[in-house]
Amino acid sequence: MERLLIRGGTPLCGEIRISGAKNAALPVMAATLLADGPTIVGNIPHLHDVTTTMELLGRLGVELTVHEGMEVEVNTATIKSLQAPYELVKTMRASILVLGPLLARFGEAEVSLPGGCAIGSRPVDIHVDGLRAMGAEIEVADGYIKGRAGRLRGAHIRMDLVSVTGTENLMMAAALAHGTTVLENAAREPEVINLATCINAMGGRVRGAGTSTLTIEGVERLYGVHHRVLPDRIETGTYLVAAAMTGGEVRLKDTAPALVAPLLDKLRDSGAEVEAGRDWVALRMRGRPRAVDLQTAPYPGFPTDMQAQFCALNAISTGAGSVTEGVFENRFMHCLEMQRMGADIRIEGATAQIRGVERLTAAPVIATDLRASASLVLAGLVAEGETRVDRIYHIDRGYECIEEKLAQLGADIQRVPD
């Protein structure tokens, strides 16, 4: 297993490119299962979760060709299995995204139940109940969600909670159903809109993406297209926070500033100077940031996937800030690791009360989930001494070449074998 060694203290300066969004690439790759002809997906990030998705599609018998510049061509004509096995699903919960498309197009699917997860219980009832409402027969047995259906039927579904992959799964299933489906309390994330755009380009009829009510008129068949994945707003936010924490000056290109508006507001509150153009954003921070208060919520609220990084920012800021997690039950594991680096953090239920300290000190720390790992790398960038971040396979699930990008900005960071 590999680890990262980071020697803190260098302000990050320079320019880097932002990759395609993991959480847009995964649903779009699942949506390729809906199309009759080959689909080409562009701006795919080179990430572990993408490799897992390609492996999963490969297990189903799908033919995959990787073209130059991380364009992946998916041809489903050769499909021979309708099962997503445990050993793949356990490493990536988003594998559940194949359930809707497989049931809708082939009338059958078996997807392993995702196992325990380091960020609170993440059930799949919204996915299963929605598909049942569309006429699928679903049983959970032997650790698998086993579904069967004739042609799915349109239905009126109100989801109890806002679920990103729940909305995406049901949207994909409804795209090939007989009749119209209305999804109420739908997720409004940009990645959901990106998926709707892809399905519509395939010949689907999804309306209302970006609002909390989606209306999906099912069609008989969908066709292969060329679709481009949108830029990663969480990667964008993570590098902006890194620059703010280190008192640096960075410019991020190939991104979409409109998607990170709540993050830019918080960074300005913390004292950063932020400028943005159509596809770039630049940040400069002089001196230490000021601590900020925030509460995570579904889009357009503050993203839960940026909560850990802002905990790291508050940990070295002037003043005190409170960070409330409003999406997941148990997403503060990084705070315990930051305390080991000298951070002053008190967890009270769903809120972390953080009083900034002048400096953190290096320690060996363990990454427990993807965004937690990123926040520990950020803490390492400002800590005195050499921080060792273990279990970095979590980082590789969601950040393309993180040590190369940070090194390009001047950070003293290296990946070493165990």
Which positions are annotated as active-site residues?
117
What is the closest distance, in whole angstroms, from the C-beta atom of residue 325 to ligand EPU in the complex?
A: 10
Instruction: Tell me which stretch binds ligand EPU (CB under 6 A): 63-71, 104-112, 116-124, 211-219.
Output: 116-124
What is the closest distance, in whole angstroms, from the C-beta atom of residue 190 to ligand EPU in the complex?
A: 11
What is the CA angle 413-415-416, rounded to 5?
125
Q: What is the DSSP string of 304-316?
A: GGGHHHHHHHHHT
Is the CB of residue 255 less than 8 Å from the CB of residue 234? no
What is the closest distance, in whole angstroms, from the C-beta atom of residue 151 to ligand EPU in the complex?
A: 24
166 versus 218: smaller Cβ distance to ligand EPU: 166
Per-residue binding string, ligand EPU, 315-344, x by CB under 6 A, is: ------------xx----------------
Strand, coil or helix: what is 297? coil
Is the CB of residue 218 less than 8 Å from the CB of residue 230? no
Among 99, 102, 126, 283, binds ligand EPU (CB under 6 A): 126
Question: Cis ω on the peptide bond leading into residue 85 (within 30° of 0)?
Answer: no
3 versus 22: smaller Cβ distance to ligand EPU: 22
Question: Between residue 143 and residue 182, which ones bind ligand EPU under the rule CB under 6 A?
Answer: 161, 163-166
Q: Where are the beta strands (DSSP E) in 143-212?
A: 144-148, 156-158, 180-184, 205-207
Tokens found for residue 237:
């936010």
Residues touching ligand EPU, count (CB under 6 A): 24
60 versus 99: smaller Cβ distance to ligand EPU: 99
Among 44, 56, 94, 176, binds ligand EPU (CB under 6 A): 94
Tokens 């569309």 belong to: 134
Among 58, 61, 123, 143, binds ligand EPU (CB under 6 A): 123
371 binds ligand EPU per the rule CB under 6 A: yes
Question: Between residue 21 and residue 60, which ones bind ligand EPU under the rule CB under 6 A?
Answer: 22-23, 26
What is the closest distance, in whole angstroms, from the C-beta atom of residue 194 to ligand EPU in the complex?
A: 11
357 versus 401: smaller Cβ distance to ligand EPU: 401
Is the CB of residue 123 less than 8 Å from the CB of residue 165? no
48 versus 371: smaller Cβ distance to ligand EPU: 371
74 versus 131: smaller Cβ distance to ligand EPU: 131
Sign of CA dihedral 67, 69, 70, 73: negative
Strand, coil or helix: what is 51? helix
270 versus 307: smaller Cβ distance to ligand EPU: 307
Task: Name the burial class of residue 215, with classes exposed (0-12), middle (13-18) and buried (19+) by CB atoms within 10 angstroms of its CB.
Answer: middle
Question: Between residue 212 and residue 251, which ones bind ligand EPU under the rule CB under 6 A?
Answer: none
DSSP secondary structure code for residue 40 in this structure: E
4 versus 362: smaller Cβ distance to ligand EPU: 4
What is the closest distance, in whole angstroms, from the C-beta atom of residue 98 to ligand EPU in the complex?
A: 12
Alpha carbon distance 391, 75 (integer Å): 34
Instruction: Tell me which stretch binds ligand EPU (CB under 6 A): 125-133, 221-229, 283-291, 344-352.
Output: 125-133
Q: What is the DSSP string of 316-327?
A: TSBSEEEEE--S
What is the closest distance, in whole angstroms, from the C-beta atom of residue 120 to ligand EPU in the complex?
A: 6
Among 124, 176, 183, 259, binds ligand EPU (CB under 6 A): 124
Instruction: Tell me which stretch binds ligand EPU (CB under 6 A): 33-41, 117-125, 273-281, 403-411.
Output: 117-125
Q: Strands of 249-253's sheet, edge to edge?
A: 13-17, 249-253, 280-284, 273-276
Q: Residue 69 — left, alpha, or beta (φ > 0 → left; ψ -120 to 50 → alpha)?
A: left
Alpha carbon distance 231, 222 (integer Å): 25
Sign of CA dihedral 302, 389, 53, 229: positive
Q: Which positions lie near ligand EPU, rule CB under 6 A?
A: 22-23, 26, 93-94, 121-127, 161, 163-166, 304-305, 327-328, 370-371, 398
